[in-house]
Amino acid sequence: MGRRSRLAAATISAVAVVSASLTAIGNAAPAGDAHSWATRTMRGMTLEEKVGQLFVTYAYGRTADTPHQANRDEFGVATPAEVVQKYHLGGIIHFNWTDSIYEPKQIAELSNGLQRAAVTSGAKIPLLISTDQEQGQITRIKEPATQLPGNMALGAGRSPADAERAAVITGQELRAMGLAQNFAPSGDVNVNPANPVIGVRSFSSDPALAAELTAAQVRGYQGYGAVTASVKHFPGHGDTNQDSHEELPVIEHDRQQWEALDAPPFRAAIDAGTDTVMSAHIVVPKLDDSGEPSTLSRNVLTGMLREELGFRGVVVTDSLQMEGVRHKHPDAEIPVLALEAGADQLLMPQHLQVAIDGVIGAVRSGRLTEKRIDQSVERILRMKAGRGVIDRPFVDVSKVDRIVGSPRNLEAAQKITDRTTTLLRNDAAVLPLRQPPGRVLVTGAGASPTKALAGSITARGSQATALETGMKPTPQQIDQAVQAAGQNDLTVVLTNAAWNEANASQRDLVRALQRSGKPVVAVAVRDPYDAAHVDEVPTWLTTYSDKAVAMESLARTLFGEIAPVGKLPVPVPDPTRPGTDRYPFGHGLSW
C-alpha cells in the first residue's frame, strides 16, 4: 500500500453532512483530539499540500462551479473549485468584488461547493472560509444579514455584554453560511483622530475600554458564535495618519507607550483565547529597528507576540497585496519573510502561484526547513479541528434563512444600537422633538442613510424627504439643499468624515443650512470628530455608523422614544486649539 493509500486508510472517514444530497468523504478529526489528529494528518501530506494550507485567498464566482474569466486570468483555471484544488488551499475569503456575496443561501451553497472541492482532492482537508465582517464600516455581507453599528458605537455603549452579543449574532450567521473564520475584531486603540484606516473600526482611544470590549468579542465569536476570531492589527495600528493599503505607516511609539496604549487589547484577547492574531503592515522603529513592516519582523511576531505575550495560536498576515508590505520586496520573497518572522496564514498574496513557488523554493533550497512549515500547518489544522470545521465542513442550506437576519437577531441588534447614540450638544433645546414636525428634510452624506432616516421619521408622523448630497457636495448641491430646507420645518444633516480636508465642503453644507433660519440637527454618522469642525450648529449627535439600524436608533432618539445614553469613547479635539478637546472622552448629554 502506497503512502497516499496509507494516509487515506488512516485518516479518511465519512464526513457528517446535513443533507442527504450533500455527501462527501473528508479527513475527519476525532472529537477532543485535535492536536494528535493534526500531527498525524500533517505527517502524511506532501510539501505542496502543506504549503497550500498556509494560503488564504479569494476566487471569483457565485457558485463553486461557475466559470469566471477573472479566475482564468489570475489562476489559470475557470472555477472557484478548481482554484481550491489546484493550489491545495487552506482557506478562501469572500468579497463582494469577487462575485462571491449575493444572499445568504447563495453564500451557503458556494461554501458547500468549495468544501466539496477541498475534501475530495489532495489531502482532503476542509477549508477555513472567511470574510471581514467587522460590523459597522467594514461589513462585507449586507442585509438580510443582521447589521450592527460597529466597534466605536459599542465603545460608546460601554457594555461588554452588548459587544459579546453582537459578536455572537455575527458569528452564528456567518457559520450558518459556511464561514468559520472572521477577520475581526479590531483591537487597535484609535488615539489619532486623523487615522484614515482605523477610526470607527476601533472601540476606543482608551486602552482599558478597548481591551475589555475586544476580549468580549473574542468570547462572542468563539463561544456561541462558533467562528474563529482574528484580533488585528498587531502590534497596533491606532496612532497613524497613513493608510497601509497605500503606503507604509511609521508609528513612533516607544516601548513604554506601546505597553500602555497598544498592548492591552492584544493581551486581553490572548487571555480570552483568541484563535488568531492578524499582523499590521506598519513600522514601529522604537520597537524594531529592522525597517521591516511588522508582518515581516521576527522581533515583532515571534519576539513580542509569541515570546512576550505568550500567544500560541495562528498568526495571520494582513493582505499581502497591500502596499505597506510590498514596498521593498518582490512578491516571491514576501511570504518567505512572513514565515521567517513567525506568521502562519498568508492572506491574499498578489500573485498566488509566485508566492507558493517562493515558499516551496525556500524549503528546497534549505532557507526554510520543512519543520518550520510543519509548525504553521499543525497550528492551522488544530484550529480547523478545534472549530469543528473538519467534522462539520458543510452547512444545511435549508436552515440559513431561519438563522441569518432572524427576528430575534434583528431585535437584539436594534436594542444594542439604541444604547450607542451620543448627544454631543443640545444648546437650542431642539431635542427631543415634542411633536412630529410637519415636514423634515434629511440631507447630507450617503444615499442609504438619508433614505433610511427619512423613512424612520416618516413612520413617526412627519413628512420626510431625503436629499443626498454626497461626500463632497458641490456649491450647486449646497444651494439645492438650502432651498429645500426653506420649505421644511426641520433639517437633519448627516456628515461623514467631514473632519477630513478632502471632505471640507460637507462643513460648508452644514453652515449654509444653519444660516437658512430653520432648525438644524447635525449628525456625524461615522467619526464623531466632525462636530468640532462646525461649531456654529447648536445641535450635534453622533451615531458612529450610517447603517439603517443606527438611523432607526437616531430617529428614536430625535423623537424622545429613547434617551441618548452613549458616551464618547474617544475625545473630540478642538481643531482651532491644539491640545484642547472640544468634547472630552466620556462626554454625552441626555434628558
Q: Which of 374, 394, 348 is nearest to 113 (CA)?
A: 394
* Packing angle, helices 207-222 and 263-271, rounded to 10: 30
Grid cell locating 314: 495562528
Q: Which of 223, 225, 208 is nearest to 273 (CA)?
A: 223
Q: Are 416 and 460 in contact (CB under 8 A)?
A: no
List Cβ neighbours of 253 (8 Å cut-off, separation of 6 or more): 236, 239, 261, 262, 284, 286, 287
Cell numbers 422633538 correspond to what residue? 433
Rounded CA-CA distance 405/170 in Å is 10
Rounded CA-CA distance 236/527 in Å is 19
Burial of 357 (0-12, 13-18, 19+ CB in 10 A): middle
Q: How many residues does the chain have?
A: 591
Is-catalytic flag, 245? Answer: yes
∠412-414-418 over CA atoms, to 5°? 120
Rounded CA-CA distance 337/558 in Å is 53
Grid cell locating 286: 522604537
List Cβ neighbours of 43 (8 Å cut-off, separation of 6 or more): none
Q: Are 7 and 44 in contact (CB under 8 A)?
A: yes
Grid cell locating 532: 468640532
Quick check: bond before 293 cis, omega within 30?
A: no
| Segment (H or E) for 55 | strand 55-57
Of 35, 65, 243, 245, which residue is the catalytic one? 245
Grid cell locating 184: 475581526
The amino acid at 152: M
Q: Pairing mode, if any, of strands 314-316 and 439-444? A: unpaired
Rounded CA-CA distance 109/289 in Å is 47
Q: Which of 396, 393, 408, 404 is nearest to 179 (CA)?
A: 393
Rounded CA-CA distance 280/25 in Å is 38
Rounded CA-CA distance 287/299 in Å is 8
Q: Are 320 and 347 in contact (CB under 8 A)?
A: yes
CA distance from start to end of the chain: 78
List Cβ neighbours of 271 (8 Å cut-off, separation of 6 or more): 215
Of 318, 344, 391, 530, which residue is the catalytic one? 318
Rounded CA-CA distance 93/57 in Å is 6
Grid cell locating 276: 488568531
Q: How far is residue 395 CA from its own chain's centroid?
A: 23
Q: Which of 142, 139, 123 is nearest to 131 (CA)?
A: 139
∠546-547-551 over CA atoms, to 5°? 75
Burial of 33 (0-12, 13-18, 19+ CB in 10 A): exposed
Is-catalytic flag, 329? Answer: no
Please identify every residue annotated as catalytic: 245, 318
